[in-house]
Structure 1
Amino acid sequence: MPRHGLMTGTLDYLRRPLVANITPGMNVLIVTDTAHDPRVWQAVMSIVSELGADGTLALFDPRPADYYDPPKTVCEAMLHSDLNILLASTGMLHAHANAVAMDAGVPVICMDGGMTLEMFQSGAVTEDQKEMAIRQYWVATNIFGKDARHCRVTSKYGCDFTYSVENRIFIPNMPGDDFVAYKIQNVSKVQNRKSNMLRFLYPNGEFNIPPVEYSGSGKLVIDLCMHQIGRISSPIELTVEHGRIVEIDGGADAHFLRNYLEQYGDENAYVCPAEASVGINSKAQIRGVQREDKNILGTMHFGLGTNVDVGGTLLSNIHMDGVILEPTLYVDGDKRIENGRFLRPIDGPLG
């Protein structure tokens, strides 16, 4: 187990999603591993107890890759909980076990991916949830629009990548007076899924798009961070043809990604982009951790592998997001983001 400091600083932001979703008598399962900051699950266990719920800790060896299932006994326990809290060092939001549990009606609070206690005290977690929900609506409406068809992304590192979003822009509801911050929501209707998707991601702050499968083409250059790699030391260049990665070029991180996909991926792990999303959290900071970095305002992240839980059709052993820090985005030939800055309003209607 890695060494971490003492439990210091505020627990206020860590408490907020728990207070909003836990009631006395609930059976709450905390899913974590020995590579995660133990102070986080210890704090969560204390808060769960304070709220009058019955907390159970599932602690196990780290999984070999993001989105691999926990041990079978934990998978079974996830089906019989009132609430699952994901705190693993590897991402488990897209894991099969979590999808099955959500489909069975068990909600999830996802705080996994290696977030330390300090990351729950500053940065992305401090963003106003309602303001961000409003921003998400305007990004969907003004930056894309429900009739958007074609996207092109470039960057200073040589990215020049195109893909189709035709009939894939799902406009979220504008939050009303009944908006409850940090509350678990069923996002299946927004993303046109029949199965339950009862979840709250934390920290959060992205507008999700599942591009048309196999429509990607060109060079996609990831320059900030990526699942399993963390902060990237040198850009990773993905050459994509007919929606599939055919080459991975770059330095040590590209070498790691090639080997990782060979070892843990499957055929659909090479489909790109499975997701193409925009960061909308104005408080998010560069951490080298996916759970926060992909939410940075004006960034874009592109996923490989599974995308059924963001409105697509793909299933894979894995899901990996790679982040571009300062992208330029064209939608149907019109520039909408330039070097990470929005060129249309994201807080109200157009002109």
Structure 2
Amino acid sequence: MDPRMMHLAQYVKVPIELNAKPGNKVVIITDTNMDPLLWQTVAAVAESRGVEVSLFLMTPRAAFGIDPTPPISAAVRAADIMVDMTTRALGHAAICDEIRKAGKQAIYMNGATYDILSSGAATADYAAIEQLGQTLMALWTECKEVRVTSRLGTDLVTRTDGRKGFYMAARNRWLADGRVLDAAFPDGESGIVPLEGTGEGIVVWDTTVEQIGLLQEPVKLTVKKGWVVDVEGGAQARQIRELLEQHGDRNSYNCPAEISIGTNPKARITGSMREDKKKWGTSHIAFGTNSEDGGVIRAKLHIDGLIREPTVSMDGRVVVQDGAIKV
């Protein structure tokens, strides 16, 4: 076996061992922009656990949250577990809503590289990440108003009355309220889907944005009554506006579609949101689809942007202060 594959297998076995059982039917979806060594290793690890693996290769989707091809979607419906190893995440696509409601599992490894899957966040203590995630999920569920600020100008207030928090820690979880918590790898976050139409203020993404990468300068979103009304900044802000215009729809401007806190102390800033948004003490705020986690808006896009050192308050209680989690 390739030495690089042997090294990688030590880490990618984590989500497989946490989620797959012998006899499970697993569909791995990848695309032509992904390193074949990655999906080959995941397939080999899964097969070693008695899992039946099917591999599907496609060309990259035009944007995040777009369904795979119809034949692949059909295979996903027939499987027990979907593993997303694409360039652009399927996590907010309609097919993922469908399998989630059917009680099936998903493992999101989109946007990963060899380095991301074998160092940094991949090496963390996932039991500890799950414990922190559960604590934060309870706080999210209890709160009614969330405020996020940052030194670079973020000041967003939104309501969360009646919404339930979630967390992600590399393991699919079935909750007593009927929800399924998804898994990713690397992983580590906890968040909530705010009430539609309640977001007011400014969001300044200062680190990384999905489908854009590392930011050369901050991107400023103006949010009024739950909708993005302006996207300001330099060339990358223009890319975001073009992404919305070319691949989005009216609902893609819904904001905040999600507010989450990174909970993985080993995560680094890499330029890929697969790892960056998991970094302990960061916050990512999204626009677009929110129907996966209790929301009611289905959009063509779901785009996360990262704030590196946020302050997050829940009903006035500071839970994250300048990038440090306080619980």
Say whether the fold is shared (TM-score over 0.5).
yes
Give the equivalent residue in structure 2 for 1:214: 197
Give the equivalent residue in structure 1 for 2:272: 289
**For 1:211, what is the secondary structure of its paired residue?**
coil
Give the deviation of 1:139 after TM superposition.
Answer: 2.7
Deviations 1:97-120 (A, max 9, x none): 2222333343222211x1012211
Q: Is this contact kept in 2: 1:208–1:310, CA < 8 A? A: no
Deviations 1:164-206 (A, max 9, x none): 122224377xxxxxxxx8543225x55x65xxx3632222111
Q: Which residue type is aligned with residue 258 of structure 1?
A: R
Give the equivalent residue in structure 2 for 1:93: 91
Matches within 5 A, 1:116-265: 116-141=113-138, 144=139, 146-170=141-165, 182-187=170-175, 189=176, 193=179, 197=180, 199-265=182-248
Q: Is this contact kept in 2: 1:163–1:215, CA < 8 A? A: yes
Give the equivalent residue in structure 2 for 1:176: none
**Rounded Cα–Cα distance in structure 2 between residues aligned with 1:65 and 1:182:** 24
Asked if 1:315 corresponds to 2:303, the answer is: no
Structure 2: segments with no counterpart, 5+ residues: none
Deviations 1:293-347 (A, max 9, x none): 11111111111111121222211111111110001223333443221123x3x2x
Q: Is this contact kept in 2: 1:268–1:305, CA < 8 A? A: yes
Matches within 5 A, 1:109-120: 109-112=107-110, 114-120=111-117
Decide which moves more: 16-25 or 35-44.
16-25
Structure 1: segments with no counterpart, 5+ residues: 173-180, 347-351
Structure 1 consecutive aligned stretches of length 4 or more whose deviation exceeds 6 Å: none
- Cα pair distance change 1:42/1:275, threshold 3 Å: same
**Rounded Cα–Cα distance in structure 2 between residues aligned with 1:240 and 1:246:** 6
**Rounded Cα–Cα distance in structure 1 between residues aligned with 2:148 and 2:136:** 16
- Cα pair distance change 1:146/1:17, threshold 3 Å: closer
- Cα pair distance change 1:233/1:56, threshold 3 Å: same
Q: Identity percentage over the alignment?
A: 35
Give the deviation of 1:38 after TM superposition.
Answer: 1.4
**For 2:153, what is the secondary structure of its paired residue?**
coil
Deviations 1:61-109 (A, max 9, x none): 1010001011111111111123221111110111112222333343222
Q: Is this contact kept in 1: 2:262–2:283, CA < 8 A? A: yes
Q: Which residue type is aligned with residue 69 of structure 1?
A: D
Q: Is this contact kept in 2: 1:123–1:283, CA < 8 A? A: yes
Larger C-alpha radius of gyration, 1 or 2? 1
**Rounded Cα–Cα distance in structure 1 between residues aligned with 2:71 and 2:200:** 42
Question: Aligned Cα RMSD in Å?
Answer: 2.2
Give the deviation of 1:140 after TM superposition.
Answer: 3.8
Give the deviation of 1:207 after TM superposition.
Answer: 0.9
**For 1:330, what is the secondary structure of its paired residue?**
strand
- Cα pair distance change 1:219/1:107, threshold 3 Å: same
Give the deviation of 1:261 after TM superposition.
Answer: 0.4
Instruction: Choose between structure 1 and 2: higher helix proportion.
Output: 2
**Rounded Cα–Cα distance in structure 1 between residues aligned with 2:14 and 2:51:** 15
- Cα pair distance change 1:331/1:184, threshold 3 Å: closer
- Cα pair distance change 1:198/1:157, threshold 3 Å: closer
Q: Is this contact kept in 1: 2:117–2:185, CA < 8 A? A: no
Asked if 1:13 corresponds to 2:14, the answer is: no
**Rounded Cα–Cα distance in structure 1 between residues aligned with 2:7 and 2:297:** 41
Decide which moves more: 332-341 or 315-324.
332-341
**Rounded Cα–Cα distance in structure 1 between residues aligned with 2:142 and 2:170:** 30
Asked if 1:23 corresponds to 2:21, the answer is: yes
- Cα pair distance change 1:198/1:131, threshold 3 Å: closer
Q: Is this contact kept in 1: 2:166–2:191, CA < 8 A? A: no
**For 1:84, what is the secondary structure of its paired residue?**
strand
Q: Is this contact kept in 2: 1:67–1:94, CA < 8 A? A: yes
